[in-house]
Amino acid sequence: MGFFKRPFGKKEKKTFEFDSEKLVRGIIYGLSPCSRYVVIASPRYDSRNNSCDFVMHPHELLRWLEVQIEAEEYARDEVECATAEAMIIWLRNADCSNDNFTYITEDLIFEILDPKGDEFEFFIKNYNASIYCIKCGYFVEAVYAGKREVLMPFYHGPGYSHSSNEDVWDCQEGHQLYFVEESFVL
pLDDT (tens digit per residue) in 95-121? 999 999 999 877 776 666 666 666 788
Cα 74 to Cα 65: distance, rounded to the nearest angstrom: 8
pLDDT band at 186 (very low <50, low <70, confident <90, very high): very low
Q: How far apart are the first and last CA of the chain?
A: 76
Q: What does the pLDDT read at residue 117?
A: 62
Angle at 140 between CA 57 and CA 183, to 5 degrees: 100
Q: Is the pLDDT of residue 56 over 80?
A: yes
Percent of the chain with pLDDT over 90: 24
Closest CA to 92 of 142, 49, 44, 34: 34
Q: When comparing pLDDT for 55 and 167, which is higher? A: 55
Name which of 96, 89, 95 is nearest 66 in CA terms: 89
pTM assigned to the model: 0.73
Question: What does the pLDDT read at residue 154?
Answer: 46
Secondary structure element (H or E) that encloses residue 27, with its range: helix 20-30
How high is the pLDDT of residue 152?
A: 47
Residue 156: per-residue pLDDT? 47
